[in-house]
């Protein structure tokens, strides 16, 4: 499978002609094995070059133009590094063979092959608007796409290997299959870790996204790769690295707050979702999501298609895209963080909640005048600390694993691990004041206080009269 080689992540001298070498701006030299290349050299995988990893984030952070392609290759490489380190340290004990190495690497390579256009916007924002109650996910589409690629390109791969690759990709979801105690369960912790969220997918995108956005990154995934050890079929981490583990989740949450859910990025996403929903009847984008032979044709070029197509049916969508191009964005009015004591019973804030809170006698708001965004940011386990589900070991001679409570680590760590932020946007500049006032009234009615930190910026209010 993939040719004989001595090291699962680097070719032997006699096999170099069968491998390809690429230079990655995060991990340096990456070597692609023959079986991986059979998948990479398909139009379905090459499509990932046309999917920006962070969607519209480059409209705020201009350097964030990296693609799902380079991220997937990076996860492939880190998955290989992770299992190679486990083999070097515990090879005989764990019975890791070349088939295991190949399987884990392929899971890393193919985990995002079913991703939709513009990052998570497609499945989390667009599809719920056009397919109410839809349970579609890019992970499930990845499984369908892998089968399609194998059949379409006659890729010779062991059926057992293929089955495990697909199981590893959905290992972090509730649909993951139940495995017996005899299986090498620790292999499923590497790419998409459903036990505790520590996986090489996060290792790659945290460092890659931080670098692309011009941000510093203090998280060092190398320390975790170097110190992990399998105990009772689970990847555990050396106790002295507990702060490195916490930094992983904190850095991820910080990226969500400052980059992925940036208020301006969200405004652009809301606009594009409106444009795509309006264009769907004409373009039929939502009809592609069940058939991989059609789905692989979807990528970020949808925006350009809408923009340059002269069809009358796309006029409203074209107008929205032009507003994005000209930076005539939906105006961010304000936001508030839901009080901690209200989080457990929080219900999504709707357009009607804000509309019903406007003062009588003023301009009458309609749903098409504003947008509401409910943003959830956590450390990966909702309101629970991620440390609760992670096991550590004392030293390399130890065969006992144990959890570490956050109280044992530092009293400076957060007492709560989740934020819910409600934002409101005016789609029309002359309604900023009215929308802002209704938003403030809603807070007073719901919480008895104005929960937002600051008032609507005066420069936005002044636009009404300029």
Find, among 370, 421, 373, 351, the residue nearest to 266 by Cα: 373
DSSP-derived letter for residue 20 is: E
CA 57 to CA 26: how far, in whole Å?
A: 19
CA 290 to CA 141: how far, in whole Å?
A: 8
Q: Round to the nearest angstrom and report the end-to-end CA distance of the chain.
A: 68
Whether the CB-CB separation of 74 and 211 falls below 8 Å is answered with: no
Note if 138 is an active site residue.
Answer: yes
All residues at 6 or more sequence positions from 213 whose CB lies less than 8 Å from its CB, including other chains: 54, 57, 61, 63, 64, 259
CA 7 to CA 12: how far, in whole Å?
A: 7
What strands, in cross-sheet order, belong to the sheet with 331-337?
331-337, 418-426, 370-378
Whether the CB-CB separation of 371 and 455 falls below 8 Å is answered with: no
DSSP-derived letter for residue 178 is: P
Burial class for 220, CB neighbours closer than 10 Å (0-12, 13-18, 19+): middle
Find, among 368, 348, 376, the residue nearest to 431 by Cα: 368
Q: Compute the residue count for the chain.
A: 466
Whether the CB-CB separation of 78 and 108 falls below 8 Å is answered with: yes
Please identify which of the residues 27, 138, 246, 262 carries the catalytic annotation: 138
Question: Which are the catalytic amino acids?
Answer: 138
């Amino acid at each position: 499978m993939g040719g004989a080689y001595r090291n699962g992540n680097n070719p032997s001298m006699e096999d170099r002609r069968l491998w390809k070498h690429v230079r990655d701006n995060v991990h340096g030299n990456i070597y692609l094995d023959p079986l991986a290349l059979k998948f990479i050299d398909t139009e379905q995988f090459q499509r990932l070059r046309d999917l920006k990893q962070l969607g519209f984030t480059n409209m705020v952070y201009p350097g964030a133009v990296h693609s799902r392609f380079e991220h997937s290759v990076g996860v492939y490489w880190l998955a290989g590094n992770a299992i190679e380190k486990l083999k070097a340290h515990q090879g005989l004990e764990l019975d890791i063979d070349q088939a295991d190495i190949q399987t884990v690497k392929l899971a890393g390579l193919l985990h995002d092959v079913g991703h939709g256009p513009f990052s998570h916007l497609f499945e989390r924002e667009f599809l719920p608007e056009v397919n109410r109650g839809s349970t579609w996910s890019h992970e499930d589409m990845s499984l369908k796409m892998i089968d399609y690629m194998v059949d379409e390109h006659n890729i010779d791969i062991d059926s057992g290997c293929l089955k495990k690759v697909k199981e590893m990709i959905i290992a972090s979801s509730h649909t993951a299959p139940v495995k017996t105690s005899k299986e090498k369960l620790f292999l499923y912790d590497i790419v998409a870790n459903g036990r505790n969220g520590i996986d090489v997918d996060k290792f790659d995108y945290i460092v890659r996204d931080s670098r692309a956005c011009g941000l510093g990154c203090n998280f060092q995934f190398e320390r975790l790769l170097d110190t992990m050890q399998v105990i009772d079929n689970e990847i555990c981490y050396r106790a002295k690295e507990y702060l490195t583990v916490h930094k992983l989740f904190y850095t991820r949450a910080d990226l969500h707050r400052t980059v992925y859910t940036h208020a301006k990025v969200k405004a652009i996403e809301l606009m594009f979702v409106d444009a795509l929903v309006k264009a769907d009847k004409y373009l039929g984008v939502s009809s592609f999501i069940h058939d991989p032979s059609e789905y692989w044709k979807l990528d970020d070029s949808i925006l350009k298609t809408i923009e340059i197509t002269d069809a009358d049916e796309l006029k409203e969508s074209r107008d929205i895209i032009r507003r994005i191009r000209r930076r005539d964005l939906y105006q961010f009015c304000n936001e508030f963080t839901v009080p901690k004591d209200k989080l457990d019973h929080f219900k999504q804030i709707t357009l009607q909640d804000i509309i019903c809170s406007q003062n009588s006698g003023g301009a009458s708001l309609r749903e098409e005048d504003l947008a509401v965004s409910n943003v959830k940011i956590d450390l990966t386990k909702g309101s629970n600390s991620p440390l609760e589900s992670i096991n550590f070991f004392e030293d390399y001679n130890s065969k006992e694993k144990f959890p570490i409570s956050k109280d044992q680590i530092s009293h400076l760590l957060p007492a709560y691990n989740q934020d819910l932020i409600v934002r409101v946007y005016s789609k029309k500049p002359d309604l900023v004041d009215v929308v802002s006032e209704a938003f403030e009234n809603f807070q007073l009615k719901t919480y008895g206080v104005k929960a937002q930190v600051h008032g609507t910026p005066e420069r936005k209010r002044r636009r009404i009269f300029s």
